[in-house]
Structure 1
Amino acid sequence: MILIVDSGSTKADWMSVNSKENRLLGKIQTKGLNPAILNEKELQEIILSNPGLISHVSDVTHIFFYGAGCGTDKPKHLLKHVLETIFTHAKVEVQEDTMAAVRATINHENEAAIVCILGTGSNCSYFDGKSLYQRVESLGYTIMDDAAGNYYGKQLLRDYYFHHMPEALKISFSKKYDLEADTVKFNLYKQPNPNAYLASFAEFMFLHKDSTYIKNLIKQGLRKFSKNMVLQFSEEIKTVPVHFAGSIAFLSKEEIFEIAEEFNYKVGNIVKRPIEGLVTYHINQLHSWK
């Protein structure tokens, strides 16, 4: 059995196939496994708490894991160690989530493209048809995740507390979430995954997209992302498409096309979650094993 995993900081999708290219188990979802934020014990607990995964531990021969927080060696090796400890018969390959976005969005295996992630976090890379390149090293969600769910959640909280949010939206926002200062600070500073907590507020934007305030907020984030991330590939955008993956991207399609026109780049494919494309990719790769 082959396990294919697409993990953000909030959620992880697991799907399995066998050597006959049959899909098994269906999609299993767990909490996100971001090794840059979670420690070894926390990562283990998320996996071990899912009976659908644990009941098939001995059947798994390969794991292809794509995840947020796996772009540098130390967290990547931590997660690989955790997976190998649990799935003792499996060969484990861990790659950053950007490669999942590449394999899920490009139109053919050797297509060159700029590939962006807008989910709980954000990222942008250039794929030349063989290798992945980044020109900006990420310093994490507190500083660099423009246009991500956690970015928008932070902006909504700031605007609510600084009284920049329109009054009608403030009322709706306060009814939907517990915005007591002690609750917010507890979740931000004393609980794991503060980036996912911030991203949970982003849903509010897409429930109120008819608001001028919300539309401007979305576009403000996309402008920052385009300036800081997409335009690092200023030459490449002249000749290749810019693909997007992630829930924020999927729900902001209209605004992405609008901002892309402002910054003179061509939008390619936009997918909500890469898992289906990854399964197709790895099923195709099974032919090379035979």
Structure 2
Amino acid sequence: MPGKIKLIADSGSTKAEWGLLGAAAPGPYKTQGISPYFQTLDQIKAIFTQELIPQLPAGVHIDEIYFYGTGLSQQKNIEVVSAALRAVWPDSYIEVDHDLMGAARALCGHGAGIASILGTGSNSCFYDGTRIKKNNPGLGYVLGDEGSGAYLGKKVLQYYLYNTFDEELIGKFDEKYSTNKDEILENVYRKPLANRYLAGFATFLSENRGHFMIENILEDGLNDFFFNHIYKYRESWTTSLHFTGSVAWHFRDILKELCDLYELPLGRILRTPMEGLIEYHH
């Protein structure tokens, strides 16, 4: 008798990654991110039907769905995403949880550890192997998100708009982005999804590694994450620190340096949680 086919989703606010456990074509598949803070039920459903389903193997029957996503610590947001999933896959078992639980299961498996997300946004928790026992509050990109793509991208824009960058970096910025102060402020203060917009400027950092101003932004931004989040867990000194997300992956050398500097035990660093979630749900 064939095993169950499980659809596993890990969604940030910018992009979502999907895996099919038990299917001949396991993926990963990619769609735009799903955030019930910014999208309606119908918009989320449209992402499933227009972006995801055309990628899946024709006629595949999905028995179980495990969806981990941003903004899903609030019950009303869980209900929106659950309803959208049920509308498309009415016969499937559906479990919806927040992205931090997904990260914890992916990074720690069934063991204890500090699990941190450093992507478009940032978050962290102490996970005991079953449950999230402690979670420093996530304050979003305006008040918090230290070490995230949005946080680092905001620093890039500040350095550019304040004319703090030297001529070399200003020239590289102008060549790459062809923008101006008015356009930047319009996108940040008047248009939707400003966090995605800000995070888009973090790539400027990875493309210009080695310049002292770039390294300062990265070291200060990631150190802010350690100070405001990692330090708040006394377990940080006795259990491994694990990280996932694009920022964590691209700047993993700095995470290692900070862990060495503060004598903290570094664990896994995954580009995305999907590899770990496939292991967990196998």
TM-score between both structures, scaled by the size of structure 1: 0.89
Cα shift at 1:27: 1.9
Structure 1 Cα separation of the partners of residues 43 and 57 of structure 2: 20
1:2 counterpart = 2:6: yes
Aligned letter for 2:38? I
Which ranges of structure 2 fall in alignment gaps of 5 or more residues?
Answer: none
Count residues with an aligned counterpart. 277
| Matched residue, 1:282 | 281
Instruction: Tell me by how many angstroms 1:68 deviates.
Output: 1.6
Report the alpha carbon displacement of residue 42 of structure 1 after superposing the two structures with TM: 2.6
The SS at the match of 1:24 is: coil
Q: Secondary structure at the match of 1:26?
A: coil
Q: 1:51-70 residue pairs with structure 2 within 5 A? A: 51-52=53-54, 59-70=61-72
What's the counterpart of residue 102 of structure 1?
104
Equivalent position amino acid for 2:237 in 1: K
Identity %: 32
User: Match for residue 210 of structure 1?
Assistant: 210
Aligned to 2:117: 117
Provide the TM-score with structure 2 as the length reference: 0.91
Query: Take 2:277 and 2:261, find their aligned partners in 1: how far apart are those partners?
Result: 31
SS state of the match for residue 183, structure 1?
Answer: helix
Structure 2 letter corresponding to 1:147: G
Partner secondary structure for residue 186 of structure 1: helix
Maintained 8 Å contact 1:28/1:52: no
Structure-2 separation of matches of 1:279 and 1:93:
15
- 2:38 aligns with 37
Cα displacement (A) at 1:49: 1.9
Deviation for aligned residue 1:86: 1.8
Alignment match, 1:93: 95
1:257 paired to 2:232: no
Q: Which residue of 2 aligns with 1:227?
A: 227
SS at match of 2:125: strand
Aligned to 2:149: 149
Provide the C-alpha distance between the structure 2 equivalents of 1:103 and 1:200, rounded to a whole number of angstroms. Answer: 27
After TM superposition, give the deviation of residue 23 of structure 1 in Å: 4.2
Moved more, 246-255 or 274-283: 274-283
Distance in 1 (CA, whole Å) between partners of 2:55 and 2:144 is 34
Task: Decide whether the 8 Å contact of 2:45 with 2:87 is kept in 1.
Answer: no
Deviations 1:155-212 (A, max 9, x none): 1111100111122111101111132233323332443322111111101100111111
What's the counterpart of residue 248 of structure 1?
Answer: 247
User: Residues 36 and 70 of structure 1 are in contact (CA less than 8 Å); yes or no, is this contact kept in structure 2?
Assistant: no
Amino acid at match of 2:48: I
Report Cα offsets for 1:68-114 as digits up to 9, x if no partner: 221222212211111111222222111111122222222xx431100
CA RMSD of aligned residues (A): 1.9
Change beyond 3 A, Cα 1:45–1:269? same
Contact in 2 for aligned 1:150/1:195 (Cα 8 Å): yes
Once residues 236 and 149 of structure 2 are traced to their aligned partners in structure 1, the CA distance between those partners, rounded to angstroms, is 25
Partner of 2:200: 200
Secondary structure of 2:46's match? helix
Q: Which of 5, 16, 20 matches 2:20?
A: 16
| Cα offset, 1:130, TM superposition | 1.5
Give, in whole Å, the separation in 2 of the partners of 1:253 and 1:121: 16
